[in-house]
Amino acid sequence: MIHFVNNVLKKTLPKSLRNKTEALAFRFQSFIHSKEIRGVQANHQKALLHIQKKNRIKVAFFLIHDSIWKYDEVFKKFRNDERFEPIVVICPYTVYGEKAMFHEMEKAYDLVIKKGYNAIKSYNEQTQKWLDVNKELKPDIIFFTNPHKLTKDSYYITNFRNCLTCYAPYNFGNSHLYQMMHNQLFHNYLWRLFAETDFHRKLSVQYARNKGVNVALTGFPGTDVFLDPNYVPVNIWKQKEPNIKKIIWAPHHTIDNNTEVLSYSTFLMFADFMLRLADEYQGKIQIAFKPHPLLKYKLQHQHYWGKDRTELYFNRWNEIENGQYVDGDYTDLFLTSDAMIHDSGSFLIEYLYTGKPVLHLDRDLKFTERLNEFGVQAYNKHYHAKNSEEIIWFIENVLNNTDVKKEERDSFLHSELIPPNQRSASDNIYFEIVKQLY
């Protein structure tokens, strides 16, 4: 409603009056949001009292993309506790049309079914009807996997004001966009927001409208597996010879963003070069092409390459002898790799958990201006490249087992990234909820 009013004002009022009116509209919107947030907080207290009386508590995990599923161990904790009934609900990704929506839903469903989890699609193909979660599942607790409005209204947080809503970020926060990362209506509506570090908890206290009263410091569950000494990864590489170095190339999707705001991707700069690199180092390296899941859709739909060229390029990585295209979960990929080349936002911190050498591709000299203080620290633990010669320099160092930043990365891991309480982040999340309920 506020956006509609602002658009009308821009067309009808002179600039001097328009600015004053827009300011009043913003203050009115802030007042409404604050009132809504207080109402949701009151609902949480009522819901908590109701749930505490139940013998069995229903926990729903809303999943949109398979690649951002970070709740493996959290889900297992609830599944192994007879007081809880966990289920994964596959929700639609509505940004790029029906074909992409159903494709992403199928991938997400396949992921959790292969893991043996109880799961349901939000769309019933036989009845051609969408699941009414509140009426048909009646969850007590909901875990979201994405804070952004990428799905139908019926699967967004504003439709669940009477549930205990939870969220652990799907990526380790490093952006300077503090309002988007900590003060969306989503963050303020949550019952519990699980912070990666105390630095991130303090950002919520500073920027969120609710002053971070719903934040619990737990650590980042997406990296628990990298710290688990008992986990044995599967070698998913096409070439498994130990003398061939296995290198991940992970380009981001932000080919379309203003460089002053949120642009990471160097894909258009290095796409052809990386294929040539694989060819030139045949027999020495293998490259796993692991793009952000949104990159393919943007190349196809936003006047860049188009569908045919995009498909040819992605397929090419599977055709070459020492290359492969990897989509979805990347746990085993990380753990069986030797190094990474990327410009990804989330991998900036996540790959540091592996202890392996990592190169960041710099789109421009202003990249660090797009990071928060924590992100800058992580970035400084990387090697950096802004051209093909510097990428080759990194490859040669990997081949020669030269890694002068190893000690820096290890120190940062142990001082800043290990979860608190001498427990995994997933354990911390589970115990936080149990503490509130019992």
Separation CA 88–CA 113 (nearest Å) = 9
Query: Mean pLDDT for the chain?
Result: 91
Q: What is the pLDDT of residues 106-123, one digit of tens each?
A: 999 999 999 999 999 999
Q: What is the pLDDT of residue 13?
A: 58
The pLDDT of residue 23 is above 50? no
This prediction has a pTM of 0.86
Residue range 376-424, pLDDT digits in tens: 999 999 999 999 999 999 999 999 999 999 999 999 999 999 999 999 9
Q: Which pLDDT tens digit goes with each residue over 140-190?
A: 999 999 999 999 999 999 999 999 999 999 999 999 999 999 999 999 999
Whole-Å CA distances, 289 to 66, 341, 374: 17, 10, 27
pLDDT at site 28:
46
Domains, the chain: 38-220+420-437 (3.40.50.2000), 245-417 (3.40.50.12580)
- What is the tens place of the pLDDT at every residue in 195-244? 999 999 999 999 999 999 999 999 999 999 999 999 999 999 999 999 99
How many Å apart are CA 64 and CA 268, to the nearest integer?
27
